[in-house]
Chains A and B, each alone.
Chain A
Amino acid sequence: QVQLVQSGAEVKKPGSSVKVSCKASGDTFSSHAINWVRRAPGQGLEWMGRIIPMFGGATYPQRFRGRVTITADEVTSTAYMELSGLTSEDTAVYYCAGGGGPGYDFWSGRFDYWGQGTLVTVSS
């Protein structure tokens, strides 16, 4: 089973950027979809985008386009999510989540395994 280990908690000022990393174990990193999902206090889960490392070229929902950048390094099996223009509404736990393998449906894109989460706090 693939495991995802994320970087530690961050405290950021409004208007700044944050970059969270997600390192994968196992040999399926390149061919699986790596997604980023966040959960703000009192809110639900929110999908921020995904990348399939062997193909590159991340996909983002309209809401985050221009503010989120997802990248992946196949050499180190690490994915990254950078969010710019931070406001207090970006205070949340950020998760990376992967999916793939036999029977995986790219369109509906299920999240088979998750990182432990990274708390990002935006405060002046």
Chain B
Amino acid sequence: QSVLTQPPSVSGAPGQRVTFSCTGSSSNIGSNYDVHWYQHLAGTAPRLLIYGENTRPSGVPDRFSGSKSRASASLVITGLQPEDEGDYFCQTYDRSLNGLVFGGGTKLTVL
């Protein structure tokens, strides 16, 4: 059971917008630690999508965006594409655990 809670699954049709939530607490996101998002597609290594709340590394399309509010964070994908299908994870630091933590992950299905 992760200290960062993500819904197990979301789905959307091509072209639609989907939102991934990541709910933490005062010992992690609520303590203003940066939140990062990763995409993990089948058969590949995870990929950094968003860091520091809403910064995209070079090469990540602007269809991906992030935000943070209090002890929660969100990732939004607009213009959903079939190749976006996979698992998405949030990550930050937890001061009670004194270490880095991932959310449980959300599986995206493109209908």
Contacts and interface: CB of A to CB of B under 8 A. Distances in A.
Do A and B make up one complex?
yes
Interface of A: 35, 37, 39, 44-47, 50, 59-62, 95, 97, 103, 105, 107-117
Contact of A45 (B46, B52, B98): B46
Interface in B72-111: 87, 89, 91-93, 97-105
A95 B47 CA distance: 12
Interface of B: 2, 33-36, 38, 40, 45-48, 51-52, 57, 87, 89, 91-93, 97-105
A107 B33 contact: yes
A97 B45 CA distance: 10
A103 B56 CA distance: 13
B97 A108 contact: no
Given A61-B99, A62-B97, A45 B34 contact: no
A47 B100 contact: yes
Contacts of B101: 47
A45 B99 contact: no
A116 B99 contact: no
